[in-house]
Amino acid sequence: MSPEHMSSEPVRSYLLGTLEENSAATIEERYFTDRAFFLLVQSVERALIDEYLSGLLEPSTRARFEQRYLSVPELRQRLEEVRRRKALLTAADGPARNTRTLLAAAALLLCIAGAALWVYLDHMRLQSLPGSTPSQPVLATVSLSPGLAKGEGPSVGRFRASSEKGDVRLVLELPGPSTPLLCSATLAVASPEGGWKNVWLTPKPVWSTAFLAGQQITLILDSSLLQPGDYQVKVTGVDKQVQEAYFFHVTPI
């Protein structure tokens, strides 16, 4: 079912913790098996958080929101992430036009410094990666944000399968956490029936590293695993709970 035909009300009730147990279980199962539904949940949650931050929630709804999002660490992190992004957008739209030039110059300097930092951090990550194969060339490096489907936007695009022997490096952003996390990852490919089939998992847990406003982990995959199709990567913590999910698309050679 396409997102246009999905109702956001049950999802909103689920996020607020007011949905009855059987329906909540159905949503949780679909969340991890249906990519379009996953993206819908992400969109509804962002809208709900934005309403909270803008003071648009009714008192009873606001109380339920705070009961969940201020008491659960993972949900509080999502709230703070949206709060930071909203503050940055508000600052960018302020009346002080002349500051935009200064901000643009500062951003350029940060990009230059960030490029050097990226090279250093990339080297450090490869030093500590479990099961990596440095003898093989890296054919592609793909950075993924949670919930963004590769290939569906003009800027993120797709990456092409390769007939060459080598590795593909996946860099997965973990927004929010300020301290390293020990994570495992599972790679799944979309099946013709609409579900997901697991094709790879980390041989042992991987430590995340600091990056910008959170953490990230890097995975090294043999390119032979990535045949044309849609893929999902799920990152889980030591408690086996899913931290984030990522999507990307591999196009034919």
Other Cβ atoms less than 10 A from the Cβ of 83: the count is: 14
pLDDT score recorded for residue 137: 86
249, burial (CB in 10 Å: exposed 0-12, middle 13-18, buried 19+): middle
**Residue-level pLDDT, tens digit, the chain, 253 residues:** 444 445 788 889 989 989 888 888 888 777 767 777 878 888 888 889 989 999 999 999 999 999 888 888 778 887 888 888 878 777 666 555 555 555 554 444 444 334 334 433 444 444 444 444 455 888 888 888 887 544 444 334 467 887 888 888 888 888 888 788 888 999 999 888 878 999 999 988 888 888 777 888 999 989 888 889 889 999 998 778 888 888 888 888 7
pLDDT score recorded for residue 27: 83
Q: Does domain 129-251 have CATH number 3.20.20?
A: no
pLDDT score recorded for residue 25: 82
pTM for this structure? 0.46
Looking at the DSSP bridge assignments, the partners of residue 222 are 167
pLDDT score recorded for residue 114: 42
| Location of each CATH 2.60.40 domain in the chain | 129-251
b/e per residue, 27-43, with b = 16+ CB within 10 A?
A: beebbeebbebbbbbbe
pLDDT score recorded for residue 186: 94
Q: Nearest to residue 189, comparing CAs of 248, 147, 253, 237?
A: 248
